[in-house]
Amino acid sequence: MASERPLLIPSPRIPNTQELFTVPVLLDLFSGMESKNQAENSSSVEATLNSSSRRSVLSNQSKASAGNSIREVSFADMGSKPVRHGSRGADSEGLSMSQREFSDDDARLIYINDPLKTNERFEFAGNSVRTSKYSFITFLPRNLFEQFHRVAYIYFLVIAVLNQLPQLAVFGRGVSVLPLSFVLLVTAVKDAYEDYRRHRSDRIENNRLASVFVNDQFQLKKWKEIQVGEIIKIHASETLPCDIVLLSTSDPTGVAYVQTVNLDGESNLKTRYAKQETLYKMPDKEKVGGLIKCEKPNRNIYGFHANMEIDGKKLSLGPSNIVLRGCELKNTEWALGVAVYAGLETKAMLNNSGAPSKRSRLETHMNIEIIILSLFLIALCTVVSICALVWILRHREELDNLPYYRKRDYSETKEEDYNYVGWGWEIVFTFLMSVIVFQIMIPISLYISMELVRVGQAYFMIRDSEMYDEASNSRFQCRSLNINEDLGQIKYIFSDKTGTLTENKMEFQRVSIWGVDYSGANSQTEQVGYSVQVEGKDIRPKMKVKTDLALLRLSNSKNDTEERKHVHDFFLALAACNTIVPLVTDTSDPTVKMIDYQGESPDEQALVYAAAAYGFMLIERTSGHIVIDIQGERQRFNVLGLHEFDSDRKRMSVILGCPDKTVRVFVKGADTSMFSVIDKSLNMNIMRATESHLHDYSSLGLRTLVIGMRELSASEFEQWHSSFDAASTALIGRAALLRKVASTVENNLCILGSSAIEDKLQKGVPEAIESLRTAGIKVWVLTGDKQETAISIGYSSKLLTNKMTQIVINNHSKESCRRSLEDAIVMSKKLMTVDGVTDNTRGSSEAGRSPMALIIDGTSLVYILDTELEEQLFQLASKCSVVLCCRVAPLQKAGIVALVKNRTSDMTLAIGDGANDVSMIQMADVGVGISGQEGRQAVMASDFAMGQFRFLVPLLLVHGHWNYQRMGYMILYNFYRNAVMVFVLFWFVLYTCFTLTTAINEWSSMLYSIIYTSLPTIVVGVLDKNLSRRTLLKYPQLYEAGLRQECYNTKLFWLTMVDTLWQSVAIFFIPCYAYWDSTIDISSLGDLWILAVVILVNLHLAIDVIRWTWVTHAAIWGSIIATFICVVIIDCVPTLIGYWAIFEVSKTGTFWLCLLAIVITGLIPRFIVKYLYQYYSPCDVQIAREAEKLGNLREVGDVQIEMNPILDHPRR
């Protein structure tokens, strides 16, 4: 079995490197660096370097500070001040304390190994976690409170309460509350089961054991009993129970390796460091004490800001000194740490917010129809009340003796009046009773039906093998069940590039060194790889890299030429200026081992593998030095300083003490930031050549970095060291101070060259984009890459074509942006006029116009977004087929989405894979996260998650189309089936002196929406398919049915209501006139009516079913049979009104003839309208479905089918 361990060898003295510096001050300063197992190093080599194009890991808070990590190196023989090495100092505006500076008043005080004193003043949270929502006591009130947030539930509660009043009792008091109770019960049971699972998970988590220092020894203690301030010992492969600051590790240099897969999904090992001052403090051998002053709990998992006071020293703590709850200790035997955040205050729990909650566009539109139905209900009740008033006034003298309305009570010896309060109150009571009788006009079962249908739809989306990603072994995830149908109405897609359209797996392709382009024309396609000998083992890089033969010969050359020196410095920078951790893995050959470079940035990994291929192999990293094998000679470089990449500087630097007794700073970063710090007094020809090469590389879609270097004098280093020492211990403004310190060494650089890395397109991206655009969806790409890189990717992904007119906006002032926008709008109008497209034909297809592509950079957006220029940008962008935004920040991505979302009624979808895509994903109507190389931040913020961009095609064109069609039909059908019942009751009221007597048994009325008609609706909503997957994928234009809102719109609603009115007339009046002169009792007629309604609405549904399955047959015909059985059972109960009625009425032929006549009369108009509509004015879906029915898809496959145009939605 392959083993894996970090290649961190206790550094032996390297030949010829005993004396590092000739400068006297530095010679004394660094003379103590070579002692074996020195206690010189503490934290923090840990860095999150992102290349020039890689997006910052801190996302929707935009320029977020990741805090500061400090490394200290002390020198025993001199007793000089410690040398602290800083990392990221990006100051920023975030949401958490970790992203801002804090004062003493904001600080959290933790006394090391003294939990009692720590919790004396402020009792911090215990380590018990609770993800459940309810307790046994709070479940009922809290769950009911949450459910009654739905206004419809309050409506039905009021109805149930009104029915309890004697004056208004229409149904039995128990029966009236059953529908609402059933819906509440089903939802409560679902919520209770989900919460039970959370309780069980919490119980398992809280009862796990950890080794905690208690009573002068380490003892096993349950996680839930751990307190802030206690010292915890973690062993290899154990999970951390809380957030701890490292005190010591089994590694002599204080390094610990952790895996954060449970926190952010990243499987690469991260390095964390203990401080030098605490490295050898063992609580079981000596008393350990001190004070940690840190920020208050916050959600920023990438930042930590604190100081530690121990043995009279104040030490700075950063993100590389803290290990978070949920991380696993790897490749480290043990680690000691003090708990600083516990339980619900840990960063992991603060980020455990769950999936976002959104409401679908269809449900929002449905509320309008609900209001219309409510108004219609009020109208019906008003009509009944007015008619009742007229009737009462006309019959006021006869009220005492009328059979339907008796005022006087003759049952007693003494005659008494009924409780008659006058015609005014009688009308009020009549109105309220009408509301009770007609209450099902608002379908209470619709809400629970929609939830069940969405669950079923999500199940089939998750189980779809076409959306299963084998590479990551991940299935499609449906994190939000509320917006499944919105997937069928997407008009705009906003996509990230790196990791979303591309694989985010970097391959080193080209390099420019000292103005010479090594383009790889003579490259080796199969590079054996450089190898070194360590302890008799042959160690080779795990990844093979294509190399340029000329450059390889030059790097291997022993000639001491100027050209070779530049090559040497360039690859030394690639091997050293990073945070890569080398790990060794076994192979099947015991004499050969593979070195695997672990790092958070794929760019860094590619560069280090490239350096190894050219003979500069990084083989060892500790917290204070690195060892690089350079052409067979191991050389040790002391890492004297490290400034991590941040989104403000857009570069990274490392300060090395080199074997040739010099101190050098190596810097790499984005071209825009690097050229501003290059010494322009040097060879300008080299700089211009490098700029030309960078342009060529970007045009090929390659990701570029610029590398520079300079030597530091003793005085410069001393100045940097003292400045950094002051900045790293500052409580106020530390981030800004560290960034300022970095700028003192990151200037006047000598340019070494540039690198070019290829981030290949994901499989199927060009085809996916082409299908989406054919479907009428506009795809916009928002990326942090250079313009040339983004344009190149646009061509390779078929987003851009040669037929497009490109409009490029790159400006550096608001006024120039205004002029560019105005000129672009004028040009776009001219292009549209030339092609015969005017504003009067906005709804026409874009097929006839010359397509335009807008390309705009982040600098221009700074002056456009949130200003009056936004409107002009929208006007221009809406006329373009493609919009490509380059060099954009995370908040600018969200701003672009808001630009469209706030000005149109079109649905937007945002898709990304990184933390910097979170703001965009949350801003869009639908957010999709890619489970990629950059962790799970995007996934955790998304509504849906998947493994590849190409899965958008089946998600939208297939499942989105199906979900929208099913849900739209189901909503209209629910309105129809309930309205039919209400109209039948209404017609009966008109024939019973407006007394609101009901012919239909109260139990049948209650079961109508629960048993008689609910199941077929749900089954059809989950299983029906109006078109096959093959057809939908072959003709993407069919997706436009959702954009045109063909399945649910106001016109369809009113047509449905007209059909409902006609069917109710057939149901009521055919039996009414058939039995007009008979002596049939009211219960028998009521049984006939309820059976007729159930049969008719189920046959209505059966007519519209496209794909029949055995489940559909069972649901529809089973519901009809179940209705007969229920009616029989109800009429068999002697205590209920209508005892034995169904048996008497069903004996006659009139009963069955009435049922047949009702079905025929009620459905014939629907048949006729459907025939005429489909024959004379078929839609695209109907044409495709007809082709499927006839089996002619293969024959018509090559025929161009003209699809209906999409009408642009009105602007908001």
Burial of residue 280 (number of CB atoms within 10 Å: 0-12, 13-18, 19+): middle
Residues paired with residue 329 on neighbouring β-strands, in sequence order: 258
Report the DSSP pairing between strands 291-294 and 108-111. Answer: antiparallel
* Residue 369 tokens, joined: 């129809």
Report the DSSP pairing between strands 592-598 and 581-586. Answer: antiparallel
Whether the CB-CB separation of 794 and 781 falls below 8 Å is answered with yes
Give CA angle at 882 (858, 867), nearest 5°.
40
3-state secondary structure of 1185: helix
Report the DSSP pairing between strands 532-534 and 537-541. Answer: antiparallel
Phi and psi based region of residue 749 (left: phi greater than 0; alpha: psi -120 to 50; beta: remaining): beta
Identity of residue 933? Q
Whether the CB-CB separation of 409 and 951 falls below 8 Å is answered with no
Phi and psi based region of residue 666 (left: phi greater than 0; alpha: psi -120 to 50; beta: remaining): beta
3-state helix/strand/coil string of 313-378: EEEEECHHHEECCCCEEECCCEEEEEEEECHHHCHHHHCCCCCCCCCCHHHHHHHHHHHHHHHHHH
Phi and psi based region of residue 759 (left: phi greater than 0; alpha: psi -120 to 50; beta: remaining): beta
Tell me which of 496, 785, 857, 1059 is the catalytic residue.
Answer: 496
Dihedral sign of CA atoms 431, 434, 436, 439 in order: negative
Q: What is the DSSP letter of 41?
A: B
Whether the CB-CB separation of 362 and 485 falls below 8 Å is answered with yes
* Residue 523 tokens, joined: 């490259």
Whether the CB-CB separation of 777 and 495 falls below 8 Å is answered with no
Instruction: Tell me how far apart the alpha carbons of residues 696 and 275 are, in angstroms, rounded to a whole number.
Output: 46
3-state secondary structure of 714: helix
Instruction: Tell me how far apart the alpha carbons of residues 249 and 626 are, in angstroms, rounded to a whole number.
Output: 19
Helices vs strands, H then E, count in the chain:
38, 42
Residue showing tokens 């802030």: 228
Instruction: Tell me how far apart the alpha carbons of residues 1152 and 744 are, in angstroms, rounded to a whole number.
Output: 96
Whether the CB-CB separation of 642 and 47 falls below 8 Å is answered with yes
Task: Write phi, then psi, for 932 (nearest 5 degrees).
Answer: -115, -145
Residue showing tokens 């003090």: 338
Q: How many other CB atoms are there within 10 angstroms of residue 682's CB atom? A: 13
Instruction: Tell me how far apart the alpha carbons of residues 131 and 196 are, in angstroms, rounded to a whole number.
Output: 11
Instruction: Tell me how far apart the alpha carbons of residues 588 and 648 are, in angstroms, rounded to a whole number.
Output: 46
Give CA angle at 989 (997, 1129), nearest 5°.
50
Q: Is 496 a catalytic residue?
A: yes
Phi and psi based region of residue 214 (left: phi greater than 0; alpha: psi -120 to 50; beta: remaining): beta
- Give the CA count within 13 Å in the CB-facing half-sphere of 1067: 31
Residue showing tokens 């500790």: 622
Instruction: Tell me how far apart the alpha carbons of residues 712 and 770 are, in angstroms, rounded to a whole number.
Output: 53
Q: How many other CB atoms are there within 10 angstroms of residue 616's CB atom? A: 25
Of 329, 326, 313, residue with least CA distance to 246: 329
Q: How many other CB atoms are there within 10 angstroms of residue 468's CB atom? A: 17
Helix (H) or strand (E) holding 490: strand 490-495
- Kindly list the catalytic residues: 496
